[in-house]
Structure 1
Amino acid sequence: MAGKREKPEAIVLKLRQVEVLHGQGKSVSDAVRQIGVTVQTYYRWRKEYGGMNRDQLKRLKDREAENQRLRRAVSDLPPDKMILAEAAPGKLLSPSRRRQCIDHVRQPLRISERRACRTLGQHRSTQRKVPCGLADEERLTEDIIELAREFGRYGYRMITGMLNNSGWHVNHKRVERIWRREGLKVPQKQARKGRLWLNDGSCVRLRPERPNHVWSCDFVQDRTRDGRIFRTLNIIDEFTKEALVIRVKRKLNSTDVVDALTDLFILRGPPEFIRSDNGAEFIAKKVQAWIGAVGAKTAFIAPGSPWENGYCESFNARFRDEMLNGEVFHTLHEAQILIERWRRHYNTVRPHSALNYRPPAPETFVQMDHRPTMH
């Protein structure tokens, strides 16, 4: 028995035999003597293989064999291949990624900085240089975070437009890098799908070609904090993307549509076309008669096809996303003031992607008497 090394399967079997004998009432020392080993050997075995069955032992042997194979494979690799095998997967395109990767491979492989830099294609001076960024990096980061906090629904391209409009001269890639580094993001939304019908009122067939060519109008509904409904009449110039008016009242009818259009006709002159849906407020005889009397034409979209009024629907989505969904209106008067303030911001400050990230009216905007009426 001297010098004989037991196989793991036999050790597990003898440990189970001791458990059976001990369960029959024998002491541990007597059971150990019966299997022919010393007490010290038994406890050493139990520490290493105790509680294991044959299946668990087989998996342990497989893992040990795999580890042995990997150690042999690594020992056969030349040092450069070992460095590349330990390095992060993917291309190391930036000096900062190479810098982090070199620090990572030096610890487990215990290689010199010179060898790691040569293998991964990093100059040693670049590796040792501490990146400090541009002088205005901190101030730019603060401005980006402040704009992202104030305008939570704007992405980095919109923020880039606002920065450039306010005096910065930055590339959108630099803003994107800071944006990602600071963990800023806009929640993803699923885009709506729709078919484009080519009728006379469709925005595909009748496209705006100049200012005052096509105006769009539509209604949006929301509630004050007490649960009462209010409506807004939104009228935009499709070519300039400017919000001409947002009329806010508890109820809006065809008379309110005529009043709003009359104010705009006096200030800007009538457009060639007014695009809208087939709501009762727009198809009313007095509305059509007034529009025809000033020399404009109506362009009604197909029933049940809001995508044909795409310019105004897009504006309504921005209006709801950036204004209505982010405010609690306690009274109608408060809603009128805040919505008018947002309309002026939309026209004079907010960048528009279709205008090369410039606002629709950066210097002048419609000066109209929009003093909200008390109800």
Structure 2
Amino acid sequence: MKRKRFTEEQIIGVLREQEAGAKGADLARKHGISEATLYNWKAKYGGMDVSDAKRLKGLEDENAKLKKLLAEQMLDAAALRELLGKKMVGPVAKREAVAHLRAVMDLSERRACQIVGADRKMVRYQSCKPPEIELRGKPRDLANERRRFGYRRLFVLLRRDGEPSGINRIYRLYREEGLTVRKRRARRRAVGTRAPILIEAKPNARWSLDFVHDQFACGRRFRVLNIVDDVTRECLAAIPDTSISGRRVARELTVLIATRGKPRMIVSDHGTEFTSNAILAWSKDHKVEWHYIAPGKPMQNGFVESFNGRMRDELLNESLFLGLDHARSLIAAWVQDFNTRRPHSSLGYLTPMDFAKTITATGSGAPLSDGSAPAPLAQPAPHGVAETYEALIAAG
């Protein structure tokens, strides 16, 4: 029967017999090997003694170990390159990394855990918590309805609907569902010194006016005249049209005053509609102080600028206007929602309508987000001022 394995001593012994004069065919038949194997032994071990053969065997074994270590190091480096850019913080991220290495590089679970630095028990752990399918669906549905709302406003809306979960739980589900709002990159603006403008802490103390522009689906452009109450943050009017002149602005202000009352001050920029003779005559006839901000300083009219940003982010950039009537209906519905349902962060997440009722009834500011006593909105007038009954707040 042909032998499967010969030691180095046996191979050297067979070669010594051949060197002594024995024929190769007889040696092959005697030891149960082929003549080709005998020639291979002679090429490898010819002229060696037993110690040389053992030393060669040891070098081969050591070389094989080094090759294995090098291959493992290269495999580890390739695995780490595969995980480049992934954060290995937390058990969830480590589980995902192990699953990725096993799927992409066909590594074993033990090897993948060694590379990632994860415990195999942690990787195999199955959570016993309920899936929270219903709770996950609530913020997802709200986020689909209001795509530019962050988790804080979604949390306020969920609390209104009776959801008892805390804000940290809502934030975790918000992140796991991938509902994070993508921030639009804005142009950097220089920030200088800012002097506060004092206004009364009551509705109609000061209004702000500005225009925002957009276009229809056909490409025709239109503009929206926005009028905002700086104290209550209410949108008093949002008037879309293809052309709005100074006379149209004066006419809309007259209609608004008839229903809401006269403001003490109106703030605007130096647009041609606001510096026209019609506006100058209107402010003189109605005895309303009209304040123009400094040229190139839109943040002096920051309340309406902030409102314009919210309108563009949540409505104009998210809607396709088919015509002027369609734009008017959508803008009117959004303004109604803004005043009555949308929580405003600077008002303690109250709506502008609720905040207006609060300061009208109590003369104080919005309650804090944790439900504690409301913080005072107005500060007492300085000594020596004749109108001591008027509370003034820094609004600039």
User: Are the equivalent residues in 1 in contact too, given 2:156–2:343 (CA < 8 A)?
Assistant: yes
1:156-195 matches, within 5 Å, as 156-195=151-190
User: Are the equivalent residues in 1 in contact too, given 2:88–2:94 (CA < 8 A)?
Assistant: no
Residue from 118, 122, 131 that aligns with 2:129: 131
Can you give the 5+ residue segments of structure 1 that lack an aligned partner in the other structure? 5-28, 39-56, 69-87, 101-106, 110-116, 366-375
Is residue 64 from structure 1 mapped to residue 69 from structure 2 by the alignment?
Answer: yes
Between the aligned partners of 2:129 and 2:351, the Cα distance in structure 1 is: 36
Between the aligned partners of 2:64 and 2:207, the Cα distance in structure 1 is: 74
Between the aligned partners of 1:306 and 1:354, the Cα distance in structure 2 is: 19
Measured after TM superposition, the shift of residue 62 of structure 1 is 7.0
User: Are the equivalent residues in 1 in contact too, given 2:203–2:356 (CA < 8 A)?
Assistant: no
- Please say which of residues 351-360 and 249-258 is displaced more in the overlay: 351-360
Between the aligned partners of 1:249 and 1:257, the Cα distance in structure 2 is: 12
Q: What CA deviation, in whole Å up to 9, does each residue of 1:48-101 have, x standing for no partner?
A: xxxxxxxxx999837627979xxxxxxxxxxxxxxxxxxx97677xxx99999x
AA in 2 matched with 1:225: A
Given the two structures, how large is their TM-score scaled by the length of structure 2? 0.60
User: Are the equivalent residues in 2 in contact too, given 1:270–1:295 (CA < 8 A)?
Assistant: no
Give the total of aligned pairs.
Answer: 275
Q: What CA deviation, in whole Å up to 9, does each residue of 1:235-291 have, x standing for no partner?
A: 001111111000111100101110111112111211111111100101112212212
What is the DSSP-based 3-state SS (H/G/I as helix, E as strand, rest coil) of the residue aligned with 2:226?
strand
1:143 is aligned to 138
User: Are the equivalent residues in 2 in contact too, given 1:161–1:358 (CA < 8 A)?
Assistant: no
1:204-219 matches, within 5 Å, as 204-206=196-198, 209-219=201-211
* C-alpha distance 287-128 of structure 1, shift in aligned 2 (>3 A): closer
1:1-375 matches, within 5 Å, as 3=8, 36-37=43-44, 61=66, 64=69, 108=110, 130-132=128-130, 137-195=132-190, 204-206=196-198, 209-362=201-354
Can you give the 5+ residue segments of structure 2 that lack an aligned partner in the other structure? 1-5, 10-35, 46-61, 74-86, 97-108, 112-118, 358-396
* C-alpha distance 243-309 of structure 1, shift in aligned 2 (>3 A): same
Between the aligned partners of 2:195 and 2:313, the Cα distance in structure 1 is: 23
Between the aligned partners of 1:183 and 1:193, the Cα distance in structure 2 is: 28
* C-alpha distance 196-264 of structure 1, shift in aligned 2 (>3 A): farther
Between the aligned partners of 1:230 and 1:34, the Cα distance in structure 2 is: 93
Measured after TM superposition, the shift of residue 292 of structure 1 is 3.1
Instruction: Decide which structure has the larger Cα Rg and report it.
Output: 2
- Please say which of residues 276-285 and 183-192 is displaced more in the overlay: 183-192
* C-alpha distance 164-292 of structure 1, shift in aligned 2 (>3 A): farther
What is the DSSP-based 3-state SS (H/G/I as helix, E as strand, rest coil) of the residue aligned with 2:8?
coil
What is the DSSP-based 3-state SS (H/G/I as helix, E as strand, rest coil) of the residue aligned with 1:361?
helix
AA in 1 matched with 2:295: P
Runs of 4 or more consecutive aligned structure 1 residues displaced over 4 Å after TM superposition: 32-35, 57-60, 65-68, 88-92, 96-100, 362-365
Between the aligned partners of 2:253 and 2:177, the Cα distance in structure 1 is: 46
Measured after TM superposition, the shift of residue 190 of structure 1 is 2.9
Between the aligned partners of 2:90 and 2:205, the Cα distance in structure 1 is: 52
Between the aligned partners of 1:270 and 1:277, the Cα distance in structure 2 is: 20
Between the aligned partners of 1:303 and 1:60, the Cα distance in structure 2 is: 77
Measured after TM superposition, the shift of residue 2 of structure 1 is 7.1
- Please say which of residues 57-66 and 141-150 is displaced more in the overlay: 57-66
AA in 1 matched with 2:136: T
* C-alpha distance 89-178 of structure 1, shift in aligned 2 (>3 A): closer
Percentage of pairs with the same residue: 32
User: Are the equivalent residues in 1 in contact too, given 2:232–2:355 (CA < 8 A)?
Assistant: no
Measured after TM superposition, the shift of residue 129 of structure 1 is 8.1
Between the aligned partners of 1:164 and 1:108, the Cα distance in structure 2 is: 45
AA in 2 matched with 1:252: I
Between the aligned partners of 1:60 and 1:128, the Cα distance in structure 2 is: 38
